[in-house]
Amino acid sequence: MTTDPLVIFTPSGKRGRFPVGTPVLTAARQLGVDLDSVCGGRGICSKCQVAPSYGEFSKHGVTAREGALSDWNSVEQRYDDIRGLKDGRRLGCQATVQGDIVIDVPPESQVHRQVVRKAAAVRDIVMDPATKLLFVKVQEPDMHEPSGDLERLAAALRDEWGITDVHAPLPVLTKLQKVLRKGNWEVTVALHRGSLDGRHQVIDVYPGFHEGRIYGLAIDLGSTTIAAHLCDLRNGQVAASAGVMNPQIRFGEDLMSRVSYAMMNPGGEVEMTAAVRAAINDLTVDIAAEAGITPDQIMEAVFVCNPVMHHLLIGVDPVELGQAPFALATSDAMGLPARELDLNRMNDAAQVFILPCIAGHVGADAAAVALSEEPGKSDDLVLIVDVGTNAEILLGDKSRVLACSSPTGPAFEGAQISSGQRAAPGAIERVEIDPATKEPRFKIIGSDSWSDDPDFGTPQITGICGSGIIEAVAEMRMAGLLDDKGLIGSPDQTGTSRCIVAGRTHSYVLHDSTADGGPLIAVTQGDIRAIQLAKSALYAGARLLMDEMGVDHVDRITLAGAFGAHISPKHAMVLGMIPDAPLANVRSAGNAAGTGARIALCSVTARRDIATIVRQITKVETAIAPKFQEHFVNANAIPHATDPFPHLASVTTLPSVSFNLGGGGSVDDQGRRRRRARK
């Protein structure tokens, strides 16, 4: 048998000897080479295309001569006539081994090709989607050996693909018989493999060999926004992205106010559930339209969300999440039909996968960030901060990963800010203040020019968004307009008329278009207080994890969240949002939760991994930690009352000013007063 031809596959390098006449696809499968096939070797799908190489390969110790593969057969010829095969390509299921040969598997013929390539390339994700298209030939019914069409379809999947435990939900059963007959007993099956139970569900069935594409939705269901990526389940590519506001905002801006709404209003949780499901349905319709596909091409949806959003999505009253011990109704990952969640704008049999929650305050969104950023695989100690209405914070390295969440409130997203607005054209997103003249310049969303540039023109300036307010406050601190307690100085104290008197406090004017009937965009003392509350909560959460880890500094910081992408690391550190660290080691990971959702959408293996990851994370509960309040109070100062910021000091020196007139009270007092006022 040693005289059998040697077959070497690249790029894998896998090799083996096979009898003359063995199809290349068979050889690849026996060696475990990643070579795709949808039609099961019938020469229809062309997914198993390979590129044979001829000549002498000293590296492999083999010489491939002409004739090492069989001549084109009629199937290949027909395929080439009708659809065309690239030069040098062969169909792996048709070409057979005749002599020693080196065969390259091009990327598009690999099932498990890498697709979700992250900016910082910590790792790549290979395609291993839950839903795949499989072509099968089904036995025709035989009156004398009666069996159901579904049972014969399942037998074909078993015999041709080795797949067992196949089920069909009612929407598939109702169409199965017509499709089988229309396809003359050849059909393409969209088959979903449950990552939790390994069951196979038929999502759809098409007559004959189906050329159409199938898609999945990766949905980041946030308190404020719902963001979705529509991904091609064949190659992981994003076909369209879309986002809408979470309509639950009308029931409460932040998580706790929504929990309160459910507590105060009988049936309130039912309202909120209906609202968010309707919004997801609308979003599904929109994103399908944008990509030019039909809703029935959407086979599945993967959700990441915080625990309150999670419970409201599945229809569970979140009241327990509003009080200690913050018990989740269910914490594990969930797989269920989309129609059970009233998500009926996808395929009728579409499946939903919801990532697991880490704890009552640390949700599937944090799990998704952990899946995307993999702190548990980091050599150095990394702090990951997912900034949103609720901040999820992860701290860890190879030895251990900790997680908590902290209620920052919506100030970082421009809410509860006097001139605040969503990140939309016309919103100030970047701010610089000249330390000498105290004059600001800014950039608005929708324009590439700074406001002092002649090209800036006279656009409509409507407000200030989250990243804008953070930069503005940090710049005010750097320019000496704001002291370390967070007080804005008076015109006299600061020497600029941009600081204006507003009752017993002061504001700093960024832009005044009142003369033209436009808005006065200023940073008020109230805005500063809102930012201080938010950043103190964030910092205190991070410090709590550092205490638990027994460290006083971190090696690197990752800012996640769609918004994290727009925060300047230096300004975040000046503000004291994050602990001191080398500035070069502070980077943005973009929407890491959304990336985690895409990874889970593209990979069943990742769905299984996340269950393990979540179990290994140590959860820290901020709401009852005795030291949280102390950390919170100390973090009110800008950047901090007690913690040193040596790395920050090495790049900028903050002016030592104090504007305390004795009337403003501490931030902590203000916080208490606010809380009282709410009651």
Distance CA 366, CA 405 (A): 9
Q: Which two tokens stand for residue 346?
A: 């996808």
What's the rounded Cα separation, in Å, for the pair 46 and 92? 8
Task: Tell which one of 168, 231, 312, 589 touches a copy of itself (CB under 8 A).
Answer: 168
Query: Which window, 117-125, 311-319, 426-434, 461-469, contacts a copy of itself (CB under 8 A)?
Result: 311-319
3-state secondary structure of 217: strand
Among 9, 135, 326, 659, binds a copy of itself (CB under 8 A): 326
Q: Which 357-396 positions form the footprint of a copy of itself (CB under 8 A)?
A: 357-360, 362
How many residues bind to a copy of itself according to rule CB under 8 A?
47
Cβ contact 439:432 at 8 Å = no
The reply to whether 34 sits near a copy of itself by the rule CB under 8 A is: no
Query: Which residue among 317, 348, 580, 643 contacts a copy of itself (CB under 8 A)?
Result: 317
Our CA angle for 68, 73, 76, nearest 5°, is 105
Interaction of residue 336 with a copy of itself, rule CB under 8 A: yes
Strands 400-406 vs 427-433: parallel, antiparallel or unpaired: unpaired
Say if residues 21 and 97 touch (Cβ distance below 8 Å).
yes
Contact 613, 371 (CB under 8 A): yes
- Per CB under 8 A, the list member of 146, 266, 292, 454 interacting with a copy of itself is 146
DSSP string over 89-151: -EETTT-BB-S-EEEE--GGG-TT-EEEE-TT-S-EEE-B-SEEEEEEEPPPP-TTS---HHH
Could you write out the three-class secondary structure of 612-677?
HHHHHEEECCHHHCHHHHHHHHHCCCCCCCCCCCHHHHCCCCCCCCCCCCCCCCCHHHHHHHHHHH
Q: Phi then psi for 197, rounded to 5 degrees? A: -120, -5
User: Nearest distance from residue 252's CB to a copy of itself, in Å?
Assistant: 20
Among 328, 391, 554, 600, binds a copy of itself (CB under 8 A): 328
Instruction: Between 195 and 416, name the residue whose CB sits nearer to a copy of itself.
Output: 195
Q: Which is nearer to a copy of itself, 132 or 310 (CB)?
A: 310
Cβ within 8 Å of residue 51, ≥6 positions away: 88, 89, 90, 103, 104, 105, 106
Whole-number minimum distance, CB 154 to a copy of itself, in Å?
Answer: 9
Give counts: helices (H), strands (E), the chain: 17, 31
Residue from 61, 148, 425, 435 that binds a copy of itself (CB under 8 A)? 148
Shorter beta-carbon distance to a copy of itself: residue 359 or 465: 359
| Contacts (CB under 8 A) with a copy of itself, residues 180-209 | 197, 199
Of the pair 331, 666, the CB lying nearest a copy of itself is at 331
Report the residue from 149, 254, 484, 643 that binds a copy of itself according to the rule CB under 8 A: 149
Q: Is 144 in the site for a copy of itself (CB under 8 A)?
A: yes
Q: Which is nearer to a copy of itself, 282 or 621 (CB)?
A: 621
Place of tokens 């299921």: 93
**Given phi > 0 = left and psi -120 to 50 = alpha, else beta, which region is 121?**
left
Interacting span for a copy of itself (CB under 8 A) from 45-53, 84-92, 319-327, 505-513: 319-327
Cβ(438)–Cβ(496) under 8 Å? yes
Q: Does 541 bind a copy of itself (CB under 8 A)?
A: no
Residue 493 backbone phi and psi in degrees, to 5 = -65, -35
- Is the Cβ–Cβ distance between 635 and 629 less than 8 Å? no
- Kindly state the smallest distance separating residue 663's Cβ from a copy of itself, in Å: 40
392 vs 432 by CB, closer to a copy of itself: 392
Stretch that binds a copy of itself, among 48-56, 145-153, 298-306, 551-559 (CB under 8 A): 145-153
As a whole number of angstroms, the distance between CA 593 and CA 606 comes to 14
Site string for a copy of itself, 88-107 (x = CB under 8 A): --------------------
145 or 516, CB closer to a copy of itself?
Answer: 145
Q: Kindly state whether residue 82 participates in binding a copy of itself, applying the rule CB under 8 A.
A: no
Nearest-angstrom CA–CA distance, 572 and 569: 5
Report, in Å, the least distance between residue 265 CB and a copy of itself.
16
Instruction: Give the span between the Cα atoms of 598 and 586, in whole angstroms.
Output: 24
Site for a copy of itself in 562-621 (CB under 8 A): 619, 621
Which tokens sit at 323? Answer: 């009080």
CB nearer to a copy of itself: pick between 24 and 154: 154
Is 177 a residue that touches a copy of itself (CB under 8 A)?
yes
| Contacts with a copy of itself, 256-295, as mask; x by CB under 8 A | ----------------------------------------
Based on the shown chain and the rule CB under 8 A, indicate whether residue 173 belongs to the binding site for a copy of itself. Answer: yes
Contact between 599 and 371 (Cβ < 8 Å): yes
Q: Which stretch binds a copy of itself (CB under 8 A): 37-45, 237-245, 324-332, 486-494?
A: 324-332
- Whichever of 153 and 445 has its CB closer to a copy of itself, that residue is 153
Tell me the closest approach of the beta carbon of residue 481 to a copy of itself, in angstroms.
42
Residue 575 in contact with residue 473, Cβ under 8 Å? yes
Q: Is 624 in the site for a copy of itself (CB under 8 A)?
A: yes
**Binding region for a copy of itself (CB under 8 A):** 140-144, 146-151, 168-170, 173-174, 176-178, 197, 199, 314-317, 319-320, 324-332, 336, 340-341, 357-360, 362, 619, 621, 624
